[in-house]
Structure 1
Amino acid sequence: MLSESSRPIIESTLQTIAERINDITVIFYRKMFEYHPELMDGMFSRADQAEGIQPRALAGSVPVFASYILANPDSYPDEMLARIAHKHASLGVTADQYEIVYKYLFAAIAENLGDACTPEIAEAWTEVYWLMADVLVKIEKGLYDGQKNDVIHSNFKLVSRKEAGTSVLDMIFEPADSTVMSDAVAGQYVTVIVKTEDGLRQPRQYTLLPSAQNQRRIAVKQNEDGEVSPMLHKLEVGDIIEISNPYGDVVLGGYSDQDSQPLYLFSAGIGIVPMVAFLAELKKNHSKRSVVAVHADSSSEAWPLREEYLKLVAELDDAKAISFLKDGEGDFQGEVRVESLDMPRLASVYMCGPLSYMQSVRSALVQQGIPGRNIQYEIFGPDQWILRATRRSMRGNRV
């Protein structure tokens, strides 16, 4: 809980900090990587840094957290914090690294604000930072303690690779050492680390596909302009890379077959991966739940994991697949039209795909009367969307 002495200071400076956070972020990362270049090795994405996505997501979470606790003095933004903590755990973030972030973030704030950064302002924002950091450290400790091993990233050997759609590889890895594998829940992801041509270890997250015991299976779509996916596509059977324990909070937990809410799975392109995992989990549990799997793609040839996806749908008791393909060969042509699906208002929805796709689908779902709380999503890379969603959830609730 924010102290009464800090509350008025945060209220009066929140807008300024929020407006300046992008400029503050530039200073923050420049200073931090200058003195701690080791953080770029295996933890921070060089590509996301160049695009500015990861910096805005990390530093931007602090004013969002501040805004939330001003509006909700007795609670924290649990969804946002859980999303951050799972990503941190997959990268191996440690408690002492919050001290490093604090040092350089607050040096950047002081530099940006200049004389306006009084000791009282610095102290109030320090309180906000450590309220957030302490919660994250506790969540991350719980995530680490819940694993079957204490290894952040262990070695895995590629044992199978095959094409699974246009520029998509279906890849299976098995342990290359004696590290005990932790259990994964459908919808979770792992951080994969490869060594780039200049020797820097770079991380990326990939959702896990259904696999045999003692295996990790992922689908990698090659981004020709990317840094990691082309390296993964060059791997041959027998090559070894580093893979984390499974993490991620976008899972099917919380619903049961007794729940009358039908389940809708919306995916586009490689966003089909978590949906395949969900469908396999439903099949494994002999689910009787009503499921509608909606996929959008350019063509049936480009559609990743198409045969496996459709087979899983067909094997469920009450499920159907609906496709929106731009080439006209699907059930519908063009972009997804939610209004054509006649969805019940109490449907539970999961989404995965490009951000623009999910934004469009979510807007249409809300317009059709689906409550926002019933819509969950997985996003590739740093999640700035949840920061905006957290802000939206607070509108009309300010004190």
Structure 2
Amino acid sequence: MALTPEQVKIIKATVPVLKDHGATITTVFYKNLLEANPELHNIFNTVDQVNGQQPRALAGALFAYATYIDDLGVLAPAVELICQKHASLYVQPGQYDVVATFLLAAMKEVLGDALTPEVHDAWAAAYWQLANIMIKRESDLYVESDNWIDWREFIVDKKTAESDLITSFYLKPVDGKLLPTFLPGQYISLQVFVPELNYLQARQYSLSDRPHSDYYRISVKKEAGLSSSDPATVAHPGYVSNILHDFIKEGDKVRISHPFGDFFLTKGENAHPVVLLSAGVGLTPLISILNTLASSAPNPNRKIHFIHGSHNTSSRAFKDHVKKLSSEYPGLRATYFTTDPSAEDKQGVDYDRLGHVEINKLVANNDLYLDNSNTEYYICGPNNFMTDVQKALKALHVSGDKIKLELFGTGGIATVD
């Protein structure tokens, strides 16, 4: 049921309240929800709970929803991103009822008498307006998933070190059935039991190869510790990434989801240039895109520029692979930035430019192909990196629809665990 005009006014009037109290409301919400429903720990990222990222992300989403309650089209990309992640975690319609109960209760706990019956009813209606949109979209995604609508067992067929921190995992389905294809750039969720927590945890990992019918590949960075602005937070190695690196062996089983995600190579037999910009482990979905372009491009001279930043050569994954592709594919160039070269790293041999990847260090037409208005830019890496690159490209009059960012993590930023 649509909100009444009076309810829309009430929701918009709560924007200042959410700005001031949103993070407190969502922190209380998650605490109470997970205490009463511990089985939901299997869905929510514990690291993002501890470092406050998940409550902040939900607070931001509530603030945006209240702000644009009468123009929800503005939020369509954000809603799609969330629905894709929900589908990869197999969120079910009934769980929206549980969230509604605890979210409204958290609002009452924090706001007290300020949450009048009228405000409560308006937010209940607003919640279900959005929830029904998301339930419908997620239902459609499940229908599109080739009857793969629950976690599926895969065997780790092979582990390959790609750098001093990144390892590739080749995953084959235990049932031996052919795998559905995916759009290059998409991710899977991978779920493992974490003994330290005594429950399951799932993480999203980009598929790092072009589609194959018999295996998927992910390439995972081993995370050293938890990042938190709270000095009381106890740092620890990333739960899932360290389990994968240190304890999961070839022949072991893991559970993964059908591929999902709204960051992917544009379909079509196009010949326009493509620029792939990444930093650190952000190169993984771009390797999937690169491998797809190099294996199936109708025009071998199509311009592709792979631009990547890393601390040094030892931390750079797929360097030999990209070098090999560059020698085989006439239109492909690779440019490497290094922030902290080792004594053995030589500029012009092991890397091209010193420092971080920055648009102002690249030549407009030679490196970025700005002379072609159809050039597409795919960007993946840390939050600041992506926003800086996006801002710089827009300042050069690149159309926003030509800039694609991978924002699959909590709050729209890729999680590092």
The number of aligned residues is 381
> Equivalent residue of 2:260, what SS?
coil
Q: Indicate conservation of the 8 Å contact 1:62/1:128, yes or no.
A: no
- The reply to whether residue 330 of structure 1 matches residue 351 of structure 2 is yes
Q: Report the more deviating stretch, 314-323 or 5-14.
A: 314-323
User: Larger deviation: 85-94 or 365-374?
Assistant: 365-374
From 177, 191, 204, the equivalent of 2:175 is: 177
Map residues 137-152 of structure 1 onto 2, 5 A cutoff. 137-152=135-150
In the TM superposition, 1:223-302 aligns within 5 A as 223-224=223-224, 225-233=237-245, 234-254=247-267, 256-258=269-271, 260=272, 262-288=273-299, 289-302=302-315
- Report the CA distance between 1:178 and its aligned residue: 5.7
Shift of 1:283: 2.2
Q: Which residue of 2 aligns with 1:393?
A: none
Residue identity matched to 2:363: L
CA, structure 1 residues 3+310, in 2 after alignment: closer, same or farther (shift >3 Å)? farther
SS at match of 1:77: helix
Partners of 1:336 and 1:218 in 2: CA distance: 24
1:115-194, aligned counterparts within 5 Å?
115-177=113-175, 181-194=179-192
Shift of 1:360: 2.3
Distance 2:328 2:129 in 1: 48
Aligned-residue offset at 1:132: 1.1
Asked whether the 8 Å contact 1:149–1:182 carries over to 2, the reply is no
The residue aligned with 2:201 is 202
Q: CA shift at 1:179, angstroms?
A: 6.2
Alpha-carbon distance between aligned partners in 2 of 1:13 and 1:253, rounded to the nearest angstrom = 39
Once the two structures are superposed, residues 100-147 of structure 1 have per-residue CA deviations (whole angstroms, 9 ceiling, x without a partner) of 111000101111111111111111112221111111111111111011
Give the drift of 1:291: 1.8
Q: Tell me the TM-score normalised to structure 2 length.
A: 0.86
Q: Does 1:12 align with 2:13?
A: yes
**Percent identity over paired residues:** 31
SS in 2 for 1:330: coil
Q: Distance in 1 between matches of 2:328 and 2:6?
A: 60
- Alignment gaps of 5+ in structure 2: 225-236, 342-346
Aligned-partner residue type, residue 21 of structure 1 = G
Distance 1:385-1:16 versus aligned 2 partners, 3 A rule: farther
Letter of the 1:54 partner, please give it.
Q
Contact 2:179 2:213 in 1 (8 A): no
Matched residue, 1:309: 322
Deviation string for 1:154-201 (max 9, x for gaps)? 111111011101111111011123666332221110111111124311
Structure 2 distance, partners of 1:337, 1:146, is: 39
Q: CA deviation at 1:359?
A: 2.3
Alignment correspondent of 2:48: 48
Alpha-carbon displacement from aligned partner over 1:29-73 (angstroms, at most 9, x marks no partner): 1111111010002x1111111011122223432331232233x26
Match of 1:397 in 2: none
Change in Cα spacing, 1:315 to 1:58, as seen in structure 2 (3 Å) is farther
Whole-Å separation in 2 of the counterparts to 1:19 and 1:385: 23
Letter of the 1:172 partner, please give it: Y
* Equivalent pair of 1:268/1:354 in contact (CA under 8 Å): yes
Deviation at residue 12 of structure 1 after TM alignment: 1.4
Aligned pairs for 1:383-398 within 5 A: 383-384=411-412
Contact 1:313 1:319 in 2 (8 A): yes
Q: Distance between the aligned counterparts of 1:334 and 1:372, measured in 2?
A: 26
Instruction: Report the CA distance between 1:371 and its aligned residue.
Output: 2.9
Amino acid at match of 1:104: F
User: 1:276, 1:308 within 8 Å by CA — same for their partners in 2?
Assistant: no
- What is the CA distance between 1:383 and its match in structure 2? 2.8
Structure 1 gap segments, 5+ residues each: 387-399
Identify the range of structure 1 (366-375 vs 18-27) with the bigger mean alpha-carbon deviation.
366-375
Q: Is the 8 A contact 1:294 1:321 kept in 2?
A: yes
1:361 Cα offset (Å): 1.8
Is the 1:189–1:208 Cα contact (8 Å) retained in structure 2? yes
Moved more, 331-340 or 171-180: 171-180
Check the 8 A contact 1:209/1:277 in 2, yes or no.
yes
Q: Could you tell me which residue of structure 1 aligns to residue 38 of structure 2? A: 37
| Structural mapping, 1:50-89, within 5 Å | 50-70=50-70, 72=71, 75=73, 77-89=75-87
Greater shift after overlay, 234-243 or 315-324? 315-324
Contact 2:184/2:288 (<8 A) preserved: yes
> Secondary structure of 2:5's partner?
coil
- Match 1:104 to one of 102, 106, 110: 102
Query: Counterparts of 1:150 and 1:376 in 2: how far apart (Å)?
Result: 27
Q: 2:409 aligns with which of 363, 381, 384?
A: 381
Matches of 2:330 and 2:124, distance apart in 1: 54
CA distance in 2, matches of 1:3, 1:94: 28
CA distance in 2, matches of 1:377, 1:255: 19
**What corresponds to 2:4 in structure 1?**
3
Structure 1 letter corresponding to 2:241:
S
CA RMSD of aligned residues (A): 2.1
**TM-score (normalised: structure 1):** 0.90
Which deviates further from its counterpart, 369-378 or 189-198?
Answer: 369-378
The AA in structure 2 aligned to 1:236 is K
Give 3-state SS (helix, strand or coil) of 1:186's partner. Answer: coil
Give the match's secondary structure for 1:171. Answer: strand
Are residues 254 and 183 of structure 1, via their aligned partners in 2, closer, same or farther at CA, if it must alter by over 3 Å? closer
Instruction: Give the AA of the match of 2:379.
Output: M
